[in-house]
Amino acid sequence: MARYVLKRLVLLPVLLFLFSVTVFAIVQAPPGDFLTTYVATLASSGSSISAEQIEALRREYGLDRPIWVQYIRWMQNVLTGNLGLSLEYQRPNAELIGERLVLTVVLALFAFAITWIVAIPAGIYSAMHPRSALDYLLTVLNYIGVATPNFMLALVLMWGAFAYFGLSITGLFSPDYVEAPWSAARGVDLLKHVWLPAVVLGVAGTARLTRVMRANLLDELNKPYVTTARAKGLPEWRLVLRYPARLALNPLVSTIGWYLPLLFSGSLIVATVMNLPNIGPLLLRALINQDMYLAGSILLIYCFLTILGTLISDILLAWLDPRIRLDEG
Amino acid sequence: MTAGPPVVAPETAEDRVSVASNWRLVWWRFRKHRLALLSAFVLLALYGVVLFPDFVSTQDPEATDARLAFIPVQRLHLFDGARLSPWVPAVAGKRNPTTLRMEWGVDGSRKTPVRFFVTGYSYRLLGIVPAHLHLLGTAAPDGRERLYLLGTDRLGRDQWSRLVHGTRTSMTIGLAAVTFSVVLGVMLGGISGYFGGVADVVIQRLIELLQSLPTIPIWLALSAALPRDWSPQQVFLAITVILSLVGWTTLGREVRGRFLALREEDFVLAAELAGASRRRIIVRHMVPTFLSHIIATSTLAIPAMIISETSLSFLGLGIRPPAISWGVLLQEAQNIQTVALAPWLLVPGLIVILSVLAFNLVGDGLRDAADPYSQ
């Protein structure tokens, strides 16, 4: 087990290196750099900047060097924990990202928890009562859940709350707590607001997971060991939870590997629509303004979260299912 | 499939099954899924719209008139009493004395008759033939009678016609991106599975790398990197490529698995011994065995592409105005105050859900029908 985990950990830096090159190439790609955008914005707002000042800025940010030098400089800084200065906000990127990163992870974990808490019982019920009215209802809901883009769901909810209750359900905090330092009260306030975006984010995954759980459990319920247990006189619900449900859960653990990363990157869209203080909207702005070091840092964080999600699921799976450990040695 | 020796007309149902071609069997099984069949008709209708968007439109989708902003939906009634004579309630506008804006409402007492096959704005059929025939329209085209089946947006553009044009872009991009993914997936997956060795290792690592990228942020970054001055056609093509960049990997894996399994089959060995070229073995003997499966898988991949395109365009980094797609239309609904004023701006979202639902149902039906071991 330890060896398996170690092997995966060794691969981590290699992957991150490849991703950092990819990310840098992508943020570098647009024609022009941040300064051209910056000068254009200044010009449109009426103020101007001298050519020497632009040159000085360009030198300061290293934009006059060859691309590979810029990459190495960026990497050196990232590795020492310095994510650089946002060209647009004129503040350290680490400071901009900091709290937003925590909120991104909190939101994704909440969505993940909601998904599992809803999908597993719903899937078990559906499999135990196939073709019942509730099973059909769940199936219909699942199809619609998978088909609805989450920004659409967010829009409809926001519209409903606004038009019928006069509520604004954007953001993650009440106005009093937006700028407040962390405290117990602020945490409670976060809990009051986080569940709605988490539901929006988790709907598609819940629908998919319910279907998989139902199918897996239905396969298991036909097996002889279930009949045996039933013949012994075990109550039905205890029987199901004790043996087949646990077996049916096993393949689901392997889906965590793609589901968690999906939540991290999916929260970008939900956060933009619902105006959540998350790294998603920050990335969007940085991309549009060509704030390349900020965009690069955020993209790298997304890559890291994705790898981390996959790693967690691989380790969980290896821990649950010894066959996988033996295969990969 | 090759045309076999002529068979005598089969007598019983069982005989018919035993001589039917694979595609016929798939069709018979598919036909049994009512919902899948219904969804297939929905998709056919949508692609009909894709082919003739201007014929279905009632107004020029680009025509703006600020005075006509936010006209509500005029519900289409097919029957007037017991007679088949479609009509919509007329709209009436009043200028708000304080904001000086036109405010529009539906006047249920006055009826605007709707005619079939009327002359309207001129367009080019399939981009070539000049035409001005439209499916629906009012009797008086001079503007005294108005027809807005889905209302208008903040610039007074007819939402129905824009939705029809958006359908063309979004449905095409889904299909194009999946086609491109299939080509890449079958080619690279095939090379990986058939030749093995170094090619296999390289392609497999590439797939793993692409699959562990955070898709949405990377798509956004790539779309943001597209030059601002590109034409809508160039952007369309670029978005297609960006979406397929990750899309081909799932299919590539599956094709590789199939090739690995099939390589050991007796019929492949037989073909090799008979002196068939590699190309012939792949195209003639191996691909047909999993073609139906690939079609089912790619049908199930289209909805994900449509949702991705819609989301990208919604965030302003996909298809850009003046090109119209479902995502571009939904951008109009980004502001909740506006949506509260004009809820019909959310209708494009319903069409997204409908089409994705239809693709999923057809895909599920095809997958079950293509599986030779299903009941």
pLDDT at B2 over 80: no
Q: Which residue has the higher pLDDT, B240 or B264?
A: B240
**B-proximal residues of A, 250-269, CB under 8 Å:** 258, 261, 264-266, 268-269
Using the beta-carbon criterion (under 8 Å), do B227 and A144 form an inter-chain contact?
no
pLDDT at B285: 84
What confidence tier does B372 reach under pLDDT thresholds 50, 70, 90? low
The predicted pLDDT at position B197 comes to 83
Nearest alpha carbon to residue A18 among B226, B213, B219, B185: B213
| Residue A264 with chain B: CB contacts under 8 Å | 214
Shared-domain flag, residues B140 and B202 = no
Long-range Cβ contact pairs of B105-114 (< 8 A, separation 24 or more):
B105/B72, B106/B72, B106/B74, B111/B80, B111/B87, B112/B74, B112/B87, B112/B88, B112/B138, B112/B145, B112/B146, B112/B147, B113/B85, B113/B86, B113/B87, B113/B138, B113/B139, B114/B76, B114/B86, B114/B87, B114/B88, B114/B138, B114/B147
Banded model confidence at residue A323, pLDDT cuts 50, 70, 90: low
Rounded distance between C-alpha atoms, residue A36 and residue A3, angstroms:
51
Contact B317, B235 (CB under 8 A): no
Q: What is the CATH number of the domain that holds B303?
A: 1.10.3720.10
Chain B hits for A162, Cβ within 8 Å = 336-337, 339-340
| Mean pLDDT of chain B, nearest integer | 82
Contact between residue A298 and residue A279 where contact means Cβ atoms under 8 Å apart:
yes
pLDDT value for B36? 86
B148 and B177 share a domain?
no
Q: How many CB atoms lie within 10 A of CB A47?
A: 8
On whether both B140 and B191 belong to a single domain, the answer is no
Condensed to tens digits (0 to 9), the pLDDT of residues A197-234 reads: 899 999 988 998 998 899 889 888 888 988 898 898 88
Q: Domain for residue B28, yes or no?
A: no
Where residue B44 falls among pLDDT bands split at 50, 70, 90? very high
Range B173-199 burial, b when 16+ CB lie within 10 A, else e: bbbbbbebbbebbbebbbbbbbeeeee
Residues B198 and B276 in one domain: yes
Question: What is the predicted pLDDT for the residue at B141?
Answer: 58
Strand partners, B134: B118
In a domain, B187, yes or no: yes
Domain that includes residue B197, residue range: 41-49+162-370
Same domain, B133 and B258: no
B225 domain-assigned:
yes
Confidence of residue A307 (pLDDT cuts 50, 70, 90): confident
Distance of CA A134 to the CA centre of its chain: 31
Q: Which of A8, A105, A151 to mutate to test the interface with B (most CBs of B within 10 A)?
A: A151
| pLDDT score at A113 | 92
> Looking at residues A187-203, what average pLDDT do you find?
85
- Distance separating alpha carbons of residues A240 and A121, to the nearest angstrom: 12
Question: What residues contact A130, with CB distance under 8 A and at least 6 apart?
Answer: A218
Are B311 and A299 a contacting pair at CB < 8 A?
A: no
* pLDDT tens-digit map of A64-104: 777 788 888 878 777 777 777 776 677 777 777 887 888 88
Query: What average pLDDT does the segment B21-42 reach?
Result: 84
Residue of B315, B346, B361 lying closest to A159 (CB–CB): B346
Q: Using DSSP, state whether B122 is helix, strand or coil.
A: strand
By the 8 A CB rule, do A256 and A313 touch?
Answer: yes
CB B26 within 8 A of CB B40: no
Amino acid A32: pLDDT: 66
Beta bridge partners of residue B92, listed in sequence order: B105
Residues B344 and A191: their CA atoms lie apart, in Å, by: 33
Query: Are B177 and B267 within one domain?
Result: yes
Residue A324, pLDDT above cutoff 70 = no
Q: Which residues of B touch A298 (CB under 8 A)?
A: 217
Nearest CA of chain A to the CA of B365: how many Å? 13
User: For the residues B119-127, what does the mean pLDDT come to?
Assistant: 77
| Environment class of B209 (CB within 10 Å of its CB; exposed 0-12, middle 13-18, buried 19+) | middle
The predicted pLDDT at position A125 comes to 92
How much is the pLDDT for A116?
A: 92
Nearest to B217 among A30, A268, A310 (CB): A268
For residue B97, how many C-alpha atoms fall within 13 Å in the half-sphere facing its CB? Answer: 0
**Which comes out higher in pLDDT, residue B156 or B303?**
B303
B212 → closest Cβ in A163, A273, A306: A306
Whether residues B170 and B92 share a domain: the answer is no
Looking at residue A183, its pLDDT comes to 77
**What is residue B18's predicted lDDT score, i.e. its pLDDT?**
72
pLDDT at B281: 86
Radius of gyration of chain A (CA): 25
Report the SS3 class of residue A49: coil
Residues B198 and B114 in one domain: no
Residue B16 domain flag: no
Which pLDDT score is estimated for B52? 86
Which pLDDT does position A114 carry in this prediction? 92
- Each residue of B280-323: pLDDT tens digit? 888 888 888 888 778 888 888 899 889 988 988 988 888 888 88
Q: Are A200 and A278 in contact (CB under 8 A)?
A: no
Confidence of residue B375 (pLDDT cuts 50, 70, 90): very low
**Do strands B83-95 and B129-138 pair parallel, antiparallel, or not at all (unpaired)?**
unpaired
Instruction: Say yes or no: B218 contacts chain A, CB-CB below 8 A.
Output: yes
Q: Do residues B130 and B273 share a domain?
A: no
Mutate to test the interface with A, among B202, B313, B353, B357 (most CBs of A within 10 A): B353
B352 CB contacts (<8 Å, ≥6 apart)? A149, A152, B170, B306, B307, B310, B326, B330
Residue A180 touches chain B, beta carbons under 8 Å: no
- Among all residues of chain A, which has the CA nearest to that of B338? A159
Q: What ipTM is given for this predicted complex?
A: 0.82
Residue A118 pLDDT > 90, yes or no? yes
What is the tally of structural domains in chain B?
Answer: 2
Q: Identify whether the C-beta of residue B307 lies closer than 8 Å to the C-beta of residue B215.
A: no
Please state, in angstroms and rounded to a whole number, the distance separating the CA atoms of residues A185 and A183.
5
Looking at B153, B177, B200, which one is the last position of a domain? B153
Query: Could you say which of A22, A152, A264 has the minimum Cβ distance to residue B349?
Result: A152
d(CA B338, CA A328): 56
Residues sharing a CB contact under 8 Å with residue B302, sequence separation 6 or more, in sequence order: B174, B175, B178, B359, B363
Q: What pLDDT shows up at residue B1?
A: 46
Per-residue pLDDT band for B353 (boundaries 50, 70, 90) equals very high
Are residues B130 and B167 part of one domain?
no
Note which residues in 291-320 of chain A have CB less than 8 A from chain B. 295, 298-299, 302-303, 305-307, 310
pLDDT at A28 over 60: yes
Please tell me the predicted confidence (pLDDT) of residue A8.
Answer: 74
Closest CA to B59 of B155, B126, B190, B178: B155
Are B170 and B244 contained in the same domain?
Answer: yes
DSSP three-state, residue B62 = coil
pLDDT of A327 = 52
Q: Name the domain boundary from B153, B170, B192.
A: B153
Report if residue B110 sits inside a domain.
Answer: yes
Residues 58-117 (A) with a CB less than 8 A from some CB of B: none
Name the most confidently modeled range: A281-295, B162-176, B208-222: B162-176
Check residue B373 and give its pLDDT: 60
Residue of B nearest to A156 (CA): B346
A144–B357 CB contact, under 8 Å: yes
Residue B324 reports pLDDT greater than 70: yes
- Note whether residue B109 is domain-resident: yes
What band does B7 get if pLDDT is binned at 50, 70 and 90?
low
Is the pLDDT at A236 greater than 70? The verdict is yes
Based on the domain organization, do B249 and B269 belong to the same domain?
yes
Tens of pLDDT, residues A242-262: 888 888 887 787 777 778 888
CA distances A177 to A98, A276, A295, B17, Å, are: 17, 14, 27, 70
Out of B128, B153, B178, a domain closes at B153
Domain contains B12 = no
Query: Does B3 reside within a domain?
Result: no
Q: Which domains does chain A have, with CATH numbers?
A: 103-279 (1.10.3720)
Contacts of A116 (CB under 8 A, 6+ apart): A209
Mean pLDDT of B341-347: 85
Tell me the pLDDT band of B142, cut-offs 50, 70 and 90. low
Look at residue B8 and tell me whether its pLDDT is greater than 80.
no
Q: What is the pLDDT of residues B247-286, one digit of tens each?
A: 888 888 888 888 888 888 888 889 989 988 888 888 888 8
Residue A86: strand, helix, or coil: coil
